[in-house]
Amino acid sequence: KIQLMKNKETVAVAMSGGVDSGVAAYLALQQGFEVVGIFLKMHDTPTDPELYSCCSKLGIKLVERDCRELFYDQVLFHSAKEYISGRTPNPCCTCNMLVKFAGLLSAADELGINQAWTGHYAQIFTGENGDFQLRKGVDTNKDQSYFLYRLTQKELSRIHFPLGTMCKSEVRSIAAKAD
């Protein structure tokens, strides 16, 4: 069981051990949030030791969720079935909707955390009528908005993409300065 600080707002950050998720967590810390890392295990391979190193360096707690069965059933098996039928689904779109964001927000809910951050290169704007609009990230070479198009208003209202306004070179620079 994770103890959260009562005097700080907490955000859940999807963590992979890579530079993008590490910088997303770092930026949340820089803005004064308490950060809890959420790692969604989707493969049988050993977890990258960089994940634990990154969380340790940042001084954040890490929660791990086993999503392998869901990933295999809802993404891999479904995609294989579609390919056999002559259709060409994009497994990343399905995975983001059914596994990654569902798992991230579910873990956040269990911990009593309302907001979730990820290292995706996309942006969310609020429209004139209060709806949330998913938009492309500034870095056209890294934009991931297409893979997120199935996210709902409910999900978009809880998510923040701090890297959406940056280029990958800026993210790498921040990571290098933060070690």
d(CA 102, CA 162): 19
Q: What does the alpha-carbon distance between residue 73 and residue 96 come to, in Å, rounded to a whole number? A: 14
Digit-by-digit pLDDT tens for the chain (179 residues) are 676 776 679 999 999 989 999 999 999 999 999 999 999 999 998 888 999 999 999 999 999 999 999 999 999 999 999 999 999 989 999 999 999 999 999 999 999 999 999 999 999 999 999 999 999 999 999 999 999 999 999 999 999 999 999 999 999 999 999 98
Predicted structure pTM score: 0.92
> Taking Cα atoms as reference points, which of 42, 46, 47, 25 lies closest to residue 34?
25
CA distance 85 to 41: 29
